[in-house]
Amino acid sequence: MDMIEHLKSIRKEIDTMIQEASSLDELHQLRIDYLGKKGPITEALRSMKEIEPSERPKVGQFANDLKQTMTAMIDEREAFYQQKALDQQLKQDAIDVTLPGETVKTGYSHVLHQVITEIEDLFLAMGYEIQSGPEIETDYYNFKRMNIPENHPARDMQDSFYIDNEHLLRTHTSPVEARAMDQHDFSKGPLKMISPGKVYRRDDDDATHSHQFTQIEGLAVGKDLGMSDLKGTLELFARKMFGEDREIRLRPSYFPFTEPSAEIDISCFNCGGKGCRICKYSGWIEILGGGMTHPNVLAMDGLDPNEYHAFAFGLGPDRVAMLKYGIDDIRHFYQNDLRFNHQFKERG
C-alpha cells in the first residue's frame, strides 16, 4: 500500500472514531493519539525520506490537508459537547421566577451608634452644633492647646499612640473644641458644640477599658456662663438618658484644661441611691467629667478670659451604654458578635 492509500485509511478510521466519541475526554484522547507527536500522521510525515522524491510533495500536501481536516472535525465535535454540557448546566441552574423571593433583612444601627445619636439629638435640641475633627491629630491641638505642654505630668494620664514626633492618634476629642474656637466668629454670638468620635489610648487592661473607645466632648463659650450652667446642662443630660428622677453631684477634681474641675456622678438608676452592686453600694455612679474652661485655653484662642467664660465636659458613650443596658464588658462593642448585636436591634 502506498503512503496516500495509508493516509486515506487513517482518515476513515479517525472519522469513524470521532463520530463514535461520546465525551470531551474521548475526543481529547483522539487528538493526542492521531494528531499528536506520536500519531500516525506525524509518523507518515517523518517517513517522507523513504518515498520517491517525485511523490514527496503530493504525499506531504495530502498529509497536511488530512491533519487540518481532522483537527477541524475534532474541534467541531468538541464544540458540540461543550454546548451540550452548557445547555444541561443551564437547565439544572434554571430559576423558577414564579417562586417567592427571599426576604431582604433590614439592617439596624450598632448600640453605640444608637446611644451617640440619642445624645446628639438631646444636645441639638439645646442649641448645640455637632463638630468633627481628624483622628490623626497634631501634638499642638491634642495637648498644647488643651493646656498640656511638653513634659507636663498630665500627659502620663493619656498614654498615646504616636505616629511621629508631631502626630498621634488623638487621645480625646478635645482638639475639636480648639479647632472650633479657631473657626468661630464670636462677634456673631456664643459657641455651643459637641464633638463625638473615636479616640485611642494604650489602656486595655480590664473589661471596662479599651485601646479604642468613643467619646463626646462638649463646649460652650460665651460672656455669662458659670458652673451653674454646666450643672443644669448635665443634670438634663442625666435625666434624659437615665430617667427623670436622676440627681447629679459634682466632686472636685483636676483636668488641665478646666479650672475649677469636677467629676460628675449620677444617682444610681438601679437602686435609686440606696446602694447596690452596680453603684458599689455608694448610691452614686461616676459618669463624666467637666468644669469651667481654663483661662489659658481661652487665651490661646485669642479670647480675653476676663470677658469670655466657657464650660466643657467629656463623656464616654461606651460607658453610658454599659450603664444604661447593663453591659459588663466594653470589648463586646467591638467584637462584632451578632449574638450581642442582635440584642439591640429593636432599639435602632
Q: Which residues contact 302 (CB under 8 A, 6 or more apart)?
A: none
Residues forming beta bridges with residue 266, ordered by sequence position? 248, 285
Cell numbers that stand for 280 in this block: 458599689
Which residue has better confidence, 263 or 104? 263
Identity (one letter) of the amino acid at 184?
Answer: H
Residue 121: burial class (beta carbons within 10 Å; 0-12, 13-18, 19+) = exposed
**348 confidence band (pLDDT: 50, 70, 90):** very low
Q: Are 135 and 169 in contact (CB under 8 A)?
A: yes
Cell numbers that stand for 306 in this block: 476676663
Q: Are 262 and 252 in contact (CB under 8 A)?
A: yes
- pLDDT value at 147 more than 80: yes
Angstrom distance (rounded) from CA 154 to CA 143: 9
What angle do the packed helices 56-92 and 3-20 form, to 10 degrees? 0
pLDDT tens profile 35-50: 777 777 777 777 777 7
Cα 28 to the chain's mean position, in Å? 49
**1 confidence band (pLDDT: 50, 70, 90):** very low
Which residue has better confidence, 278 or 238? 238
Q: Above pLDDT 70, what percent of the chain?
A: 95
Q: Are 234 and 248 in contact (CB under 8 A)?
A: yes
**218 confidence band (pLDDT: 50, 70, 90):** very high
- pLDDT value at 152 more than 70: yes
Angstrom distance (rounded) from CA 46 to CA 63: 11
Maximum Cα–Cα distance across the chain: 121
- pLDDT value at 255 more than 50: yes
Cell numbers that stand for 44 in this block: 507518515
For range 201-214, the mean pLDDT? 69
Query: What residue ranges in 294-328 does DSSP mark as E strands?
Result: 309-315
Q: Are 176 and 217 in contact (CB under 8 A)?
A: yes
For range 94-112, the mean pLDDT? 82
pLDDT tens profile 334-347: 888 888 888 887 65
pLDDT tens profile 220-248: 999 989 999 999 999 999 999 988 988 99
Of the ranges 40-44, 76-80, 227-231, 328-332, which one carries the lowest mean pLDDT score? 40-44
DSSP label at residue 215: E
Predicted pLDDT of residue 208:
55
